[in-house]
Chains A and B, each alone.
Chain A
Amino acid sequence: MSRQAVSDPVEAPRRRRTAPFVSLAIALVVAVLFIVLANGKASKPDVTSSFLLNRPAPAAISTTLDGKPFDLSRRKGSWVVLNFFQSTCLPCKAEHPELVAFAAQQASIADGAELYTVIKDDPDSAVAKWFAEHGGSWPIVKDDDGAIATAFGVAQVPETWIIDPSGVVVSRIATTITADFLSTKLDQFRRVYG
């Protein structure tokens, strides 16, 4: 029919002009999204960063396995190392001999750090049994309601935190450590913070 003849000469060129621009716009948006997402931070967990770094350590009040009171804020004046531990966690078990060695290293120097194990979601009896069998005479802090772990943002173990004598968090290590690594790190901090 002739209506087609009337409309086609007007409509056809308009379609040809619009489609490439729409396609180009969509392609540009997709390209920008791709670039932004490709350059984004990887989802790999960061084992050293924390909101708490260089901030006062959160409150941590509890008791030790042998019934003594524990208050982190009263440990000011000493370097404190907190190690979050679970007796069913294989990396924690693998790390334990290093902690025993680290405790011995620190005991041999004048201003050695105080080491504390914080129980992470584990029965007291299981942790006590582990320490009895594998050594380690430093205090073991109970955390029955998970308040200390939540305050530090600890979800998986092992994690080790270093707190300076003024009560400020200076390091978080969310992986296994060795005695030498931890002692060297503490020496560096002592030189920097005095």
Chain B
Amino acid sequence: MSRALKRWPSWVVLVLVVGGLLAVGATRDSAPRTPQERVEDISRRLACPICDGESVFESRNADSQAIRIEIARQVDTGSVSDDQIINFIEQRFGSKVLLVPRATGIDALVWALPVAALVCAIVGLGFAFHRWKTTADTVPDDDDRRLVAAALAEDTDL
């Protein structure tokens, strides 16, 4: 069995495990079960419109409190999704209240750049490994053979 054939099952297992975990992570039902959990989850994704670095969930000011009440009111209707509620608040207060950037427009760079960097890093590592392998496979010349022979002769003398 060739070396390449011996190596591939480990790579396949690795790809399957990573792919499986990503699939589970992407498709698992992460929706909060109770209305209160939904309100908290949504308010964690929105920034307080008048303060710095605080989410609507954390902030105690009147605007955040009013937004939490509005979120709770819409959750209680039972007919709107989390994204629709977030969209409602964003339309009124602007995109500055979004703590999780959208995957469209220039905001998409936030998601795309790390992936691009990861791909570049993997490709770079691939090139580096390939170069090291090529260097390691260099054919020994006469000088190398003489060195090895001398070393072996020393061992024999001992």
A-side interface residues toward B, CB under 8 Å?
1-3, 6-7, 11, 14, 33, 36-37, 40, 45, 50-52, 121, 145-147, 149-153, 155-156
Contact = CB atoms under 8 A, between A and B. Distances in A.
B154 interface: no
A149 B138 contact: no
Interface residues of B, number: 24
Contacts of B49: 155
Nearest to A2: B143
A2 B106 contact: no
B66 A149 contact: yes
A100 B62 CA distance: 27
B67 interface: yes
B91 interface: yes
B157 interface: no
Given A11-B131, A52-B92, A150 B70 contact: yes
16 contacts: A2-B141, A2-B143, A6-B139, A11-B131, A14-B131, A37-B106, A51-B91, A146-B65, A147-B66, A147-B70, A149-B66, A150-B63, A150-B70, A152-B92, A153-B91, A155-B49
B69 A155 contact: no
A2 B50 CA distance: 70
B144 interface: yes
B76 to A, nearest CB: 14
B91 A150 contact: no
Contacts of B63: 121, 146, 149-150, 155
A6 B92 contact: no
A145 B66 contact: yes
A36 B144 CA distance: 56
Contacts of B67: 146, 150
B135 to A, nearest CB: 6
Contact of A147 (B69, B138, B141): B69
Contacts of A33: 109
A7 B106 contact: no
